[in-house]
Structure 1
Amino acid sequence: MSTLSTLKLVISKKHQTVAPIVIRRNKLCSKLDEQLNLCLAQKEGKTYAPTRLKTYVNKQTGERMTAEVVKRVKEWFWVSDSGKINLAVKYGAKTLPLNRKGANAIELSNGDELISTLKSLKVMVANGELDDAMNEVSTATREAFNK
């Protein structure tokens, strides 16, 4: 009982819900992390193949089975006609607008710059700098379903 008296005890309640913007930030951070791992693997000459669990019904027995399958990761970057690397930040299937002038991609000179840009984008998302762009894309997607 003496150890318990040395601790600071408080009355607290855990929040059951998380703010939607925090969920969006976490989703985009995990996707940026996948792109970063993809770039690092390509730089080392390896393939990046994350796995996920897929549940299906066996047609012969009728029972539910779970299998580990390779997840497909699409590249957000490509080489332009000028030989530069272009990086578009995606939220779901939509490309995030990066500024008010309509820019939708970041131009980079090499793979190392691509990796450092992905790392800085991840920090920017965690700090909430792309919240407006995520809200804009999310609202547009939601309105498209209501038509």
Structure 2
Amino acid sequence: MSAIANLKIVAAKRPGALPQIVQRRNRLIAQIWEQTELAKAQQAGTSFAPTKFRSVKDAETGERRNVEMQKRIRAWWWTAENGRIHMHVKYGAKTLELAKGKTAIEIGTLADLIPTLDMLKAAIVAGELDAQIDAVSDQMRSGFISKK
């Protein structure tokens, strides 16, 4: 018996591109992953500094090359006046409105931050924040449209 006979062969077509909302969800999930890693590092007393590649031009030769740099990540959470931790959810530079007129989540303690981020990630995967993501991305996109 051949090895290929043991495999399940099907007729399938690979999709061209992901739908726009799925791409936006994935972007927000990646940002939540960064916030989770930042929170874990803060609890452990270490630093979290992911890297990114940036294209720079050499002044002498005029040649472009990619340089690895540290990516700056700002924490979405802060301590409020009552001593409890609050957190915004950001999509790009904009804050998502989670409920009508409400943009922050009250977490409590720093130990509850990572489970809250995990619940938020599950809500995004389920599509619960699609309307808010669309609203913010439309608002961001309108800033790039030239007015004649």
- Do both proteins adopt the same fold according to a TM-score greater than 0.5, normalized to the shorter chain? yes
Structure 1 position 6, deviation (Å): 3.7
Structural mapping, 1:1-147, within 5 Å: 2-100=2-100, 102-146=101-145, 147=147
1:54, 1:33 → 2: CA distance?
21
Aligned pairs, how many? 146
1:64, 1:141 → 2: CA distance?
30
| Contiguous gaps of at least 5 residues in structure 1 | none
2:116, 2:74 → 1: CA distance?
18
Instruction: Give per-residue Cα distances to partners, 1:52-81, cap 9 Å, x unaligned.
Output: 111211111222222111100011111111
Q: TM-score, normalised by structure 2?
A: 0.92
2:144, 2:53 → 1: CA distance?
28
| Contiguous gaps of at least 5 residues in structure 2 | none
Structure 1 position 14, deviation (Å): 0.9
2:6, 2:114 → 1: CA distance?
47
RMSD, aligned α-carbons: 1.4
1:138, 1:26 → 2: CA distance?
14
Runs of 4+ in structure 1 off by over 3 angstroms are none
